[in-house]
Amino acid sequence: MNMSRTIACAAALLGSLALAGCSGPKTLYQWEGYQTQVNQYFKGESKEAQLEALEADLQKIRAKNGAVPPGYHAQLGLLYSSLGKDDEMMRSFETEKALFPESASYMDFLMKNAKGGAQ
Q: What is the pLDDT of residues 61-97, one digit of tens each?
A: 999 999 999 999 999 999 999 999 999 999 999 999 9
CATH of segment(s) 25-118: 1.25.40.10
Q: What is the pLDDT of residue 46?
A: 93
Q: What is the pLDDT of residue 118?
A: 53
Render pLDDT for 9-67 as a digit per residue (tens, 0 to 9): 555 556 555 555 555 677 889 999 999 989 988 999 999 999 999 999 999 999 999 99
Residue 103 corresponds to which amino acid?
Answer: S
Alpha helices in the chain (DSSP H): 2-21, 34-43, 47-63, 72-82, 86-99, 104-118
Could you tell me which of 69, 76, 19, 74 has the C-alpha nearest to residue 50? 76
Q: What is the pLDDT of residue 119?
A: 46
Could you tell me which of 71, 36, 32, 60 has the C-alpha nearest to residue 50? 36
Could you tell me which of 60, 56, 114 has the C-alpha nearest to residue 85? 114
Prediction pTM value = 0.74
